[in-house]
Each structure stands twice: as structure tokens, then as C-alpha cells.
Amino acid sequence: MNTLVSSVVALGGLGVTVGLGLAYASIKLSVKVDPLIEKVRDVLPGINCGACGFTGCNAYAEAVVTENAKTNLCIPGGARTSVEVALTLGVEPEATRKLSARVLCQGGNAETVRKFEYQGVSSCHVLNQTAGGDNACPFGCLGQGSCAVVCPFDAIHMNENGLPEINISKCTGCGLCAGECPRSVIIVTEAEHAVDIRCRSTDKGGVVKKYCQPGCIGCGRCVKICPFEAIELKDSLARTLYEKCTSCGICVKECPQNTITRGPLFQRSAAPHTVHKQCCSIDN
């Protein structure tokens, strides 16, 4: 009997003491979290892609609440998330632009000369280090599909020709693929741009013709014909100035190499759309 009482008292006492200690600590040491941050975080997609420029959805939610970051920075979330964030905070939603990735290379297995048969780790980065890749074009797609692996939205698939294909309806424009590509073949720009010059090779025309059938030879015909001065020729490569391009598609017909293609969103009668100064253009 005595044993029973003493053990109940001892354990009960211990429990009460520790409980009180914990209760005190939880009040004294509690970290105050703004409930607003949690609410904002709940409306974000939660994939932590980092396209907003912060280190994940939580960091962006904090920035929106505490540093007045813009509501339209979540690129995968698009317009809907911008509105939801704005509603949560009770502010005006900011305008969003739908972005999408595009592959600026048409040099698949069928179109380009292959230097050797590659049997090894299927990663574009590893292949790029292995004798400069099997693609004879030093600027072209390596075809191992690192972009498809990294895409969180299942928007990229490698086709049979060894080139990535982007599903515009799934692509959110987060840019993870563009960051992954060791050859910078993928860029992110506004989804409504529908005409792309799909080549990255800055080699001279004669050299390009030796290794790639649809590569840009830098003839400059597109530059001359473009009514909007939206194409510039630098280092024997035509580059689209997306902020000027109206996706009219005149250059597509003019290109002797068929380097310039229409994207899935191309509409023949499309009116020149609004100019967005901030939109991404080809780097370098």
C-alpha cells in the first residue's frame, strides 16, 4: 500500500512540476508568428520552386506580409494566386504575366551530327563534361533530359528525336529548367510570344551547316524583313528582342533554314500585343 502511494505521489509530483515548467516555457519562449503569414502561405502553391526570388513559399509569404513584396511574384500561381494573396492581405492585386519556357534548339538526333555514341550517366551536366557532349554543335541541346527531370509540373518531355518538348498548358514559367540546362538552350519568356528563333549557335554559317540542318547561319534575312526591328544579329546568330516582337510571323516564312518557328499559341490574325518592358529576353 505504502509503495503504491509513494510511487503515485512521486510520479504525479514529477508530472505536475514538469508540466508547469513546460507551460511556463511555452508562454515565455513562444515565437510569435503572424497568422497572416500562415494564411498567405496556405494560398501559395507550396512547391518551393524559388521562381519568386525568395527561398521558397514560406519566405515569400513572409516577404509579402512584412516587406510589402508584390503579390504577383509567384509565377506558377499566376493571376489566381496574385488575387488570392491580395484578398488575404486586403490589398489591390497586381497584374500578372503568364510566362512559359521554350526550347531554343531544333538539333535533335535526326538533325545534328553526333560525334560519338554516348553510353553513360544520363545527365546533361555529366555529358557536357564528357568530351564536350556527343552533339557536334557546341551550343545545342544535349538530349539527356535534365530539364524534364527537374520540372515540378511534368510539363517537359523528351521526344523520340531527343529534344525536350514543353507542354504550354502545364508550364508555369518557373524557370527551373532554364537554370538546369548546361547549354542555356531553354529560356523563359511571356507565353503569348509565339515566334522563336530556335538556335543558340554563335558559330559562323558554314560551320553550323556542317553539323546542324536547321541551325541559324546568320544570313540576316529575318533582320531585314522584320517590320518591328525585333530581331538583332550578333555573332552570326539572330536573336529575338521579345519586348519588340509582335509574333506577326513574317520572319518564319523568310528563314531559309527553318530556324524560326511558330509556337502553339501562334494566331495568324493576332493583333500586336502590349509591350512589356520587363519581360525576359535572351541573355548575353
Partner 1 sequence: MKTFPHGLHIPDYKELTSQKPLETMPLPQKVVIPLSQHIGAPASICVEVGQTVLTGQTIGKSGGFVSVDIHSSISGVVREIKPSLHPLGRQVQSVVIESDGQDKWSPDIKPGKNVGKLKSAEICKILQSRGIVGLGGATFPSHVKLTPPPDKKIEYLILNGVECEPFLTADHRLMLEKPDQILAGLDILIQALGVAKAFIGIENNKPDAILLLTEKTQNNVNIEVVPLDLKYPQGAEKQLIKAILDREVPSGGLPLDVGVVVNNVGTAYAVADAVLENRPLIERVVTVTGAGVNNPRNLRVRIGTCFEEVLNFCGGVKDDAAKILMGGPMMGMAQYSMNVPVIKGTSGILALPTDQARFAREATCLRCGSCIDVCPMFINPSLNGLYARFKEFDNSDRANVLDCIECGCCSYVCPAKIPLVHLIRYAKGEVLAKRRKSA
Residue 74: left (phi > 0), alpha (psi -120 to 50), or beta? beta
Cβ closest to partner 1, residue 47 vs residue 265: 47
Cβ closest to partner 1, residue 97 vs residue 125: 125
Cβ closest to partner 1, residue 122 vs residue 267: 122
Residue 92 CB-density burial (10 A; 0-12 exposed, 13-18 middle, 19+ buried): exposed
Cβ count near 64 (within 10 Å) = 26
Cβ closest to partner 1, residue 119 vs residue 269: 119
- Amino acid (one-letter) located at 158: M
CB of 127 to partner 1, least distance (A): 9
Among 7, 18, 116, 165, binds partner 1 (CB under 8 A): 116
Give yes or no for residue 126 binding partner 1 (CB under 8 A). yes
Q: Which sign does the torsion angle of CA 150, 121, 132, 106 carry?
A: negative
The interface region with partner 1, picked from 61-69, 79-87, 129-137, 216-224 by CB under 8 A, is 129-137
- Phi and psi of 131, rounded to 5°? 50, 35
Cβ closest to partner 1, residue 122 vs residue 258: 122
Contacts 24+ apart (CB under 8 A), 221-227: 221/251, 221/254, 221/255, 221/256, 222/197, 222/251, 222/254, 222/255, 222/260, 225/250, 225/251, 225/254, 226/250, 226/251
Give yes or no for residue 91 binding partner 1 (CB under 8 A). no
CB of 191 to partner 1, least distance (A): 29
Give yes or no for residue 121 binding partner 1 (CB under 8 A). yes
Give yes or no for residue 130 binding partner 1 (CB under 8 A). yes
Give yes or no for residue 125 binding partner 1 (CB under 8 A). yes
Give yes or no for residue 129 binding partner 1 (CB under 8 A). yes
- Amino acid (one-letter) located at 188: V
Give yes or no for residue 119 binding partner 1 (CB under 8 A). yes
- Amino acid (one-letter) located at 7: S
Give yes or no for residue 227 binding partner 1 (CB under 8 A). no
Kindly list the residues in this chain that would bind partner 1 in the complex (CB under 8 A): 115-116, 119-121, 123, 125-126, 129-132
